[in-house]
Structure 1
Amino acid sequence: MQRRSFLKKAGLGAVAGSAAVAAPVFAQSNPKISWKMTSTYGPSLPPLYTTAQTFCKMVEEASDGNFSIRLYPAGEIVPGFGVMDAVGNRTVECGQTASYYYYGKDPSFCFDTAVPFGLNARQMYSWMYEGDGMKLMRELFAPRNIINFPLGNTGTQMGGWYRKEIKSVADLQGLKMRTAGFAGEVLSRMGVVPQQIPPGDIYPSLEKGTLDAVEFVGPVDDEKLGFQKVAKYYYYPGWWEGSAQVSLYVNDEAYNSLPKQYQSLIEIASRAAGGKMIGDYDANNPAALRRLIGSGAVLKAFPRDVMDASFAASNELYKEFCAKNEMFKKIHDNYMEFRDNIVPWFRVAEGSYDNYLGLALANQKKS
């Protein structure tokens, strides 16, 4: 009896001991962590802001509530264009933004979002994940104490809203236009006066006449912001944004202190939430465009001389920056080589298919 009692007690002790050891190990590998995340955007721009919301929700649910990220819209913690500094100095652990807003810090950041006559959304995804894009962007962001992750793409954007018709390059002279990043510098060489204004301030500026034109994203966002009410001419294509990648910035110290499974979770959730963004835009832009036209918007293609002048000015500016910015040249050369190799393939396959189908459907409707 004594022997059986001893073994029983010893067994219970072993179980209790193992539980005592296992609990701290589990807690250590799956700790309770709470982060703050700021965004350049807010609830008035659903595809953009809801992507950040989706990302936060995925991280929390997949970690069984152990890793939570509280999202704050632009202005609640820092201004919309303060995301890079806020993440870099760890005012917040992470943030959602578009890197071309930080053109003034270094034009090289534009390659993380969009550059004139650059890659479309699928091509950008390929460059980032299958080319050298991610490696180069990580190198670029490292001195800012930031680890970057793609967090979606808007697809090819529109060329914006104008109070007056653009018939030639001459009509761009003196035009006060809200635009961001590299595009502003290119347009300025054709006479445009670029203005960088946060999303929430664009409509009032256009309404008051502080702006003559504005480009933002495309039909879904433009309709919600109401640009068609104050500028009826809607131009395409947005040659400065063949795609526009949105990014997740994570403070490097905060990221490196995470367990490996949480680090992987950030990458997985950012990819999944980002995929939802492009799907949202592609699914909802057609109906939004039809509504805009129905409410009086006049859809126009940029004249060929405007496109040609823009292409030439863009290439001139690329050469200038390559000559004086070593990092810019390193990224530019890699990015443009990738573009020049992939565009002919898209023209053969995707382009020819899309062009034929578009014409066939238009003819079918006429018959």
Structure 2
Amino acid sequence: MSDTPSHATKLMNRRALLGASAAAGTAVLAAPALAQEMVTVEWKMVTSWPKNLPGPGVTAQRIVDRVGEMSGGRLRIRLYAAGELVPALGVFEAVAAGTAQMAHTASFFWQGKIPASVYFTAIPFGLLPHEHIAWIEQGGGQALWDELYAPFGLKPVMAGNTGVQMGGWYKREINSLADLKGLKIRMPGLGGEVMRRLGATPVSLPPGELFQALQTGVLDATEFLGPWSDRAMGFHKAAKSYYTPGFHEPNGTGEAIFNQVALDGLPGELRAIVLEACRAENGRALAESDWQNAGSLQLLQEEDGVTVRPYPEDVLTALRETSAVVLAEFAEKDPLSSRIQESYTAALVRLAPWSDVAMRRFMAARDG
């Protein structure tokens, strides 16, 4: 038998060599494409919160972590707590200017520059958390929010929720309307304007300065969030009267603000990841806040000597009536504010009867 390869064998070897060469060429061509796909995008997030503050600080960090995990490390966001890169109340301008690509904050902080921003956190005697989410996602709220922020080159979305708020910490008891006269209180949003019209003196301070201000007498009272966050801030060490209800903030939506150019510049899948991470945090944070608030309220009462007090009925009546006046005037500021007010009110009119039938009556029945 001859050792010379047959024609068929030569043909097969040649085809194998060509196939290997083609595969190698494909690998060479694919490598740059794969490298391009795996380019890491690095962003900065600035926040209005002390680092890892229970509630919004935890939410901000969790969004950063989840984006990193879901993107496989392709989108890395470095979080800067309040004051680390920009001041707590400077995050809006920082993102608009491109100093950071996103922020985690609360919309009512921008009342001075865009008054209607308050509607996207909470207004006095307004929507509850689940109602607010329904308005944003189903009732046209998101489109109006986008329109409101568009002139600044920003895209806002909901990003977490601290739930129904408490009325605040008071160094002296509120027994009548007269006790509000001259009261120095930190209460942002339209609630502060309502308090002002009833004789109080609203003081604007970022979250990180509240405890010292309350302790030293710069403030006579302050509201912040709910028991979990408030206890972590130490307010119970400076005031022992904790008032309810949080008439000014029946909802606690956290806000993520994106620089629109930076957001649009992301590949589609990364843009979807960062937006969905914010959206998922709405339910997760609300569940966490409800659970932790319940436990912290018990600790405040049983271990910290705090007394939970209801606002007197005459005070609540005055707060409700004054809120209606403030909101009516607010709608006259400009056409967009008027449209936002109309949309919000329409959502409240639609949702409140269902909440009454489905929730209030059930709770009354459950309580016996």
- TM value normalised by structure 1: 0.94
Distance 1:351 1:60 in 2: 40
Q: Aligned residue pairs: how many?
A: 359
Q: Which residue of 2 aligns with 1:364?
A: none
Matched, 1:187 2:195: yes
- 1:234-275 CA distance string (max 9 Å, x none): 110111111010011111000001111011101211122232
Residue 263 of structure 2: aligned partner: 255
Question: For the Cα contact (< 8 Å) 1:100–1:110, is it kept in 2?
Answer: yes
CA contact under 8 A between 1:93 and 1:251: conserved in structure 2?
A: yes
Structure 1's 115 and 23: CA in aligned 2 closer, same or farther, altered over 3 A?
Answer: farther
Q: Specify the code of the residue in structure 2 equivalent to 1:18.
A: T
Answer yes or no: is 1:337 the counterpart of 2:346.
Answer: yes
5 Å-filtered alignment, 1:4-23, equals 4-23=12-31
* Structure 1 equivalent of residue 165 of structure 2: 157
1:5 Cα offset (Å): 4.3
Q: Which runs of 5+ in 2 are unaligned?
A: 1-8
User: Which of these residues, 241, 248, 254, is aligned with residue 240 of structure 1?
Assistant: 248
Q: Of 322, 325, 330, which aligns to 1:321?
A: 330
Contact conserved, 2:135 with 2:141, CA < 8 A, in 1?
yes
Match of 2:85 in 1: 77
- Partner secondary structure for residue 275 of structure 1: helix
Distance in 2 (CA, whole Å) between partners of 1:116 and 1:25 is 54
Query: Is contact 1:51-1:274 (8 Å) kept?
Result: no
Question: Secondary structure at the residue paired with 1:46?
Answer: coil
SS of the residue corresponding to residue 345 of structure 1 reads: helix
- SS where residue 196 of structure 1 aligns? coil
Q: Deviations over 1:145-193 (max 9, x none)?
A: 1111211111110000111111121110100001112211111011110
Contact 2:54–2:232 (8 Å) recurs in 1? no
Aligned ranges for residues 346-361 of structure 1 at < 5 Å? 346-357=355-366, 359-360=367-368
Give the SS at the match of 2:332. helix
Superposition pairs of residues 124-163 of structure 1, within 5 angstroms = 124-163=132-171
Q: Secondary structure at the match of 1:217?
A: coil
Q: Unpaired runs of 5+ in structure 1?
A: 361-367
Which of 19, 38, 42 is residue 34 of structure 1 equivalent to? 42
Match of 2:72 in 1: 64
Listed one character per residue, the Cα deviations across residues 182-221 of structure 1 (whole Å, up to 9, x for unaligned) are 2111110111100111111111111111110010001111
Query: What amino acid sits opposite 2:293 in the alignment?
Result: N
Shift of 1:2: 5.4
Deviation at 1:342, TM superposition (A): 0.5
Q: Secondary structure at the match of 1:324?
A: coil
Give how far 1:30 is off. 4.6
Which is worse superposed, 149-158 or 266-275? 266-275
* CA RMSD in angstroms, aligned pairs only: 1.5
Which residue does the alignment assign to 1:363? none
Amino acid at match of 1:193: T
Larger Rg: 2
- Secondary structure in 2 matching 1:351: helix
Deviation at 1:21, TM superposition (A): 3.3
1:129 Cα deviation after fit: 1.1
Alignment partner, residue 303 of structure 1: 312
Q: Does 1:266 align with 2:280?
A: no
Q: Does the 8 A contact of 1:151 with 1:247 survive in 2? A: yes
Q: What secondary structure is seen at the aligned counterpart in 1 of 2:315?
A: helix
Which letter maps to 1:345?
W
Counterpart Cα distance in 2 of 1:26 and 1:236? 57
Per-residue CA deviations over 1:270-298 (Å, capped at 9, x if unaligned) read 12223221111111111211111122211
What percent of counterpart residues are identical?
A: 37
Aligned partners of 2:109 and 2:189 also within 8 Å: yes
Aligned to 1:365: none
User: Distance between the aligned counterparts of 1:73 and 1:23, measured in 2?
Assistant: 39
- CA–CA distance in 2 between the matches of 1:198 and 1:63? 33
One-letter amino acid of the structure 2 residue matched with residue 317 of structure 1: V
Give the Cα–Cα distance (whole angstroms) in 2 for the partners of residues 271 and 151 of structure 1: 6
Task: Describe the SS at the equivalent of 1:36.
Answer: strand
